[in-house]
Structure 1
Amino acid sequence: MSIETTAGAPGLLAQGPVATVYAGRDPATGNDFAVKMFPGSVDRETSAWLERERKALAAVRATRSVLQIDDVMAYPDGRWGLRRELCPGSLAGLLDSGARLGVPDVLALGAAVASALAAAHGVDVLHGGVSPHNVLYRASGEFVLADFGVALRRRFPRDPMYAVEYTAPETLRDDTLSPASDLYGLGAVLYAALTGTPPFPRHTGQQPGERILQVLREPVAPIQDTSVPRELAGTILRLLAKDPADRPQDVASLARLFTKLRRPGGEVVTGESPDLPGEEEEVDVEFDDFAEVSRPAAPPSPVHRAQPPVQVVQAPPSGGRTLIREFSGPLKRERGIPWRPIALTGAGVLIAGLAVVPLVLGPAQVGGQALPVAASVPPPSPASAPAPDVKLALAPPQDQSDHVQLTWTAEGELDFVVIMAGERLEPKQLVAHRQRALEIPVDPARRYCFQLRATDGRHVYTTDPVPIRGARCNP
């Protein structure tokens, strides 16, 4: 199979220490995918080992956070690669951009990665190198874990200093790879996502030997943020224990713990996530992402991550709500898109996910790329002066079938976010920063509503929702 570049753009996506990742397009189906290309061929033993790992992982395909290898692709020039699902980006890219995940995001990340490791370990497959570089996210905002297996790590060894801050002490000491070393990687990833830095960050002028000694001997700095639950902070530090025997032994229990801490009231949720509707099924989804809410007394978490589409979320006992409800049966075309403005009193949370209580929101998008989180911005003090009239106005959307062009006007230096809700789609936040226009990809067959929000750091300004294609944005 040949590789075509997607949308006329260069096919190169990322360059790692060993392999190079390209975006491809199947000329027969038009479907996009990613190919991880390796610099040389593999021997028969490595090929057989890789195929065993691939078949074992295929048996746990129901675990959505395991990113599968869909095909092995060989090329006439001797190179070969692994074909897999195309994801918009990685956790490493988010952290490099300065984003710091809030507690709900870290719990979602932990549940996803722990579930993936539990499934893989259950079929005797190790990951061998958990780091933010192989924690990817789908366009829906779901975190997934890629690059499972030891076969290729042995065939194409990387520089031992690459991602050393995420490598278990026993792996640095004698190249040991085990379920316990995978758990250390999980702990290091969660630590970095929560604090913004890895457990042992590199210092200017530091020699490689000093960094390795840090991992081998020095204790990890405790997590000082008082907003982090002690159970979460303690679990992360146990995962980073020097001795593998001192780390948690049951990764499936870890996944359940992270899921428990995510839920209102701390109840444990068992079983698989609700199945997503198939192409042949039609569901009626009410988008009440804009229902009025009351601000809690305590400051909210700065960032809230998107949940899988049409996931049913149980309403919290107080101060919370069910944001997306799924109704079975045929879609009722006469139903509008429910749309109620959110009550915001802290302007800073606009860029941090527009959340003042625990929310389940769609992924933010910057420049057309879906992101599960936005950078953390602490909420400012409530404004005492009345909000000025900034004359915020959203122009009628220009519908171009597969995309919509939005433009708006306002007075003053403001940051903008567009809220998009559509039929049977999860609402999304599209961060425009200080731009006054945004081009948004859409499904030509769906109806949409758009709302513009802005902040000057002290106040939040909101327009009325604007529909396209006859949608009704119900109050």
Structure 2
Amino acid sequence: MTIDDEYRDLVPLGDPPGSALAAVQAGSGAAWALKVLPGRLDRRTRGEVEAELRRLAGPAATAPIVVADAIVELPDGRTALRRELCTQSLPELIEAFGPLSVPDAIALGGALAEALSAAGVVHGGVTPGNVLFRESGEPVLTDFGAAVRRAWPPGHDIGFRAPETIRDAVLDARADRYGLGAILHLALAGTPPFPARPGERDGDHLLRVLTEPPPAIDRDDLPAWLGELVGELLDKNPDRRPADVGARLAGAASDGPRPAGAPIIEFGPERPRRLTQPPVLVAAVAVLLAVVAVLLVLNRPKDMDVPPPPPAAASSAAPAPSASGPAVTLALADPVDRGDVVTLRWTSSVPGLDYGIGVAPEGAEATVRIVGRVTTTDVRVEPGRRYCFEVRATNGGKPVVSAPKAIRGAACRQ
């Protein structure tokens, strides 16, 4: 499926910027979107990706799915998947107009549920950036493919990834349904269920996703059944997430289901309904990329600055109160220094928690990585460099942090 045609006028799209490019194909003048992969496809992964794209080609003809039709080698050596260029993404729409009306959120959820059901393959990354709108207003789901995500796990959109995906890299239909629930929450509330808090470390953010129940959606016009459905989709237990989402959205809507492919044209609970208009005819098959790109760039939401973690590990030996469980105390044993590997062991007053390990190399920023529910782990380090370590956990309340432990004479902040 590799094509050798050159692409010009590449314009960064997507979140993070540059994860997709708008481009014009030389010769034909056709405008495309190129989903840029973080590396080259090895032979095995390439075969798996091509097999998934072939399986998606049939459902994409009738379901609200946008599927790549070619694997493109870019001039700078990167690999990209070529697909239809749509006019807007869900984050851009919400940035411009705010939360969707309840009927539009129901229509959006129904379209995404139909796409997931019809695809026949696991999506693996149901996030807002993969929800696009065609010029007609029809919502579509794109960037299917567990094969690519197994090779390059996503590094963003933490609040839209299922707990089992974060903890154990599980990619299945139940994890896709969690992503659908998170998108419905975003569409109705205007924010994801677990947004990052100012100054919050990535590890603490991950722990909240793993342990805390999703917040209720605060809207006076929200039907009780819809709020319950979103909560069920965001259940920590993947076996409890409902599989009949499309039927429930179609059957329980107060004004009945909208026709398949109907435009979503009403934004926000207090905005008046606009009359459906026929799609505007494009004067030529090849849309001028400069115009399309300018519109897309202007409509792209502002980049969110995530504050860096503090340069040294924080400490706390006191138990933290929790609204959803007993207080937690953590005790990190003295690290075992093995040269390029350090073994960490710890104990907790509450069993079955999810833990994160804070690692603070001397002269560098601290990082936190999730290790799941184990109570021992090995950490790769640079021989001879000084380090501080801590263990972090939460029981549904404020994160608890152990007292830090040092190796090689590092001075840890108390």
TM-score bin (small chain): 0.5 to 0.7
Partner of residue 305, structure 1: 264
Please list the CA deviations of residues 424-456 of structure 1 after superposition, one character each: whole Å capped at 9, or x if unmatched: xxxxxxxxxxxxxxxxxxxxxxxxxxxxxxxxx
Give the Cα–Cα distance (whole angstroms) in 2 for the partners of residues 211 and 175 of structure 1: 17
Q: CA deviation at 1:36?
A: 1.5
Structure-to-structure mapping, 1:292-331, within 5 angstroms: 305-306=264-265
Structure-to-structure mapping, 1:371-450, within 5 angstroms: none
Which structure has more relative contact order (CA 8 Å, sep 6+)? It is: 2
Give the Cα–Cα distance (whole angstroms) in 2 for the partners of residues 361 and 227 of structure 1: 26
| Aligned counterpart for 1:136 among listed residues 119, 132, 135 | 132
Amino acid at match of 1:256: A
| Aligned counterpart for 1:255 among listed residues 246, 251, 263 | 246
Partner of residue 214, structure 2: 220
Q: CA deviation at 1:262?
A: 4.7
The answer to whether the 8 Å contact 1:35/1:84 transfers is: yes
Q: CA deviation at 1:352?
A: 6.3
User: Is 2:7 the counterpart of 1:3?
Assistant: yes
Distance 1:73 1:198, change over 3 A: same
The answer to whether the 8 Å contact 1:187/1:239 transfers is: yes
Partner of residue 62, structure 2: 63
> TM (normalized to structure 2)?
0.61
Q: CA deviation at 1:354?
A: 4.0
Partner of residue 315, structure 1: none
| Aligned counterpart for 1:169 among listed residues 137, 160, 163 | 163
Partner of residue 146, structure 2: 150
Q: CA deviation at 1:77?
A: 4.6
Identity percentage over the alignment? 38
Partner of residue 93, structure 2: 94
Moved more, 225-234 or 236-245: 225-234
Give the Cα–Cα distance (whole angstroms) in 2 for the partners of residues 225 and 245 of structure 1: 28
Q: Secondary structure at the match of 1:57?
A: helix
| Aligned counterpart for 1:183 among listed residues 172, 177, 182 | 177
Partner of residue 195, structure 2: 201
User: Is 2:69 the counterpart of 1:73?
Assistant: no
Amino acid at match of 1:247: R
Partner of residue 33, structure 1: 32
Give the alignment's Cα RMSD to 1 decimal: 3.4
Q: CA deviation at 1:351?
A: 12
User: Is 2:234 the counterpart of 1:240?
Assistant: yes
Distance 1:363 1:201, change over 3 A: farther
Please list the CA deviations of residues 104-149 of structure 1 after superposition, one character each: whole Å capped at 9, or x if unmatched: 11111101111110012xx2x1111111111111111111111101
Please list the CA deviations of residues 58-83 of structure 1 after superposition, one character each: whole Å capped at 9, or x if unmatched: 12123341111111112455322111
Q: CA deviation at 1:46?
A: 0.2
Please list the CA deviations of residues 343-362 of structure 1 after superposition, one character each: whole Å capped at 9, or x if unmatched: xxxxxx9996543xx85457
Structure-to-structure mapping, 1:324-343, within 5 angstroms: none
5+ residue gaps, structure 1: 275-303, 308-348, 374-475
Amino acid at match of 1:246: R
Q: Secondary structure at the match of 2:44?
A: helix
Distance 1:57 1:46, change over 3 A: same
Amino acid at match of 1:154: R
Q: Secondary structure at the match of 1:11?
A: strand
The answer to whether the 8 Å contact 2:139/2:264 transfers is: no
Give the Cα–Cα distance (whole angstroms) in 1 for the partners of residues 177 and 279 of structure 2: 27
Give the Cα–Cα distance (whole angstroms) in 2 for the partners of residues 350 and 212 of structure 1: 30
Give the Cα–Cα distance (whole angstroms) in 1 for the partners of residues 254 and 294 of structure 2: 30
Amino acid at match of 1:239: L
Distance 1:351 1:4, change over 3 A: farther
